[in-house]
Amino acid sequence: MSTGVLIVLIAIAILVAVVVGAVALNRRAAGSHGPRNLKRRFGPEYERVVSRHDGDTKAADHELAERVERHGDLRERPLEPAERERFAARWTAAQERFVESPQEAVAEADLLLAELAGARGFPDGGQYEEQFAALSVHHAQHVHGYRRVHRAAHENQADTEEMRTAMIEARAFFDDLVHPGEEPRPKSRSRLNKLQLKGS
């Protein structure tokens, strides 16, 4: 076999290896954003996005894959213990204010959640849609509480029961941001139950 033929065969083998490697990488990348993985990653948020797209799962998959692309690499900044305490005190004050002034309490909770998300390293709360998209990638199980409280804070038509439910759901999101990966603390649960009782 001549040297020229040997060089051509080696070049073809290298080219085939590169193509096979590229196809494998593309499949792996597509699999990480595939419909099943998106549904698992986003949980209840996946169903809400599908519903918003009138059942069009391809459109929902595309939107959620774009969110992951934009915000998947975001590194959350842990809170210092003093920051955690300040946010917890402000949340407690907002919950207590709910009994006398539900609209003010909801507006305060909305602002507090935006600030808390910013402190954890998410986009600025002044850009709600972008902040929400980033939060949904990392806190999909509870992010609906932020959506509900934000909507209640900016709607003049929200009734007290809607606002109370928004505050309760937002509390789960608050706990997820302040104590990621932890069960809600007993003190938090008791305050939440008081809010449920006082609001009923």
Say whether pLDDT at 195 is over 60: no
Q: Percentage of residues in the chain with pLDDT exceeding 70?
A: 82
Specify which of 150-159, 163-172, 175-184 reaches the highest per-range mean pLDDT: 163-172
Q: What is the pLDDT of residues 19-29, one digit of tens each?
A: 777 665 555 54
pLDDT at 167: 96
Give, in order, the Cα–Cα distances in Å from 77 to each of 31, 105, 118, 182: 28, 27, 9, 16
Domain boundary among 71, 102, 122: 71
Q: Which domain holds residue 28?
A: 3-71
pLDDT at 10: 87
pLDDT at 17: 82
Domain boundary among 49, 71, 93: 71
87 with 181, same domain: the answer is yes
65 with 162, same domain: the answer is no
Domain boundary among 71, 96, 125: 71
Residues 6+ apart with CB under 8 A from 50: 56, 57, 60
Q: What is the pLDDT of residues 91-142, one digit of tens each?
A: 999 999 999 999 999 999 999 999 999 999 999 867 899 999 999 999 988 9
Domain count, the chain: 2
18 with 108, same domain: the answer is no
88 with 185, same domain: the answer is yes
118 with 193, same domain: the answer is yes
pLDDT at 190: 42
37 with 94, same domain: the answer is no
Q: Is residue 76 part of a domain?
A: no
Q: What is the pLDDT of residues 128-162, one digit of tens each?
A: 999 999 999 999 889 999 999 999 999 877 789 99
Mean residue pLDDT of the chain comes to 83
Q: Is residue 119 part of a domain?
A: yes
191 with 95, same domain: the answer is yes
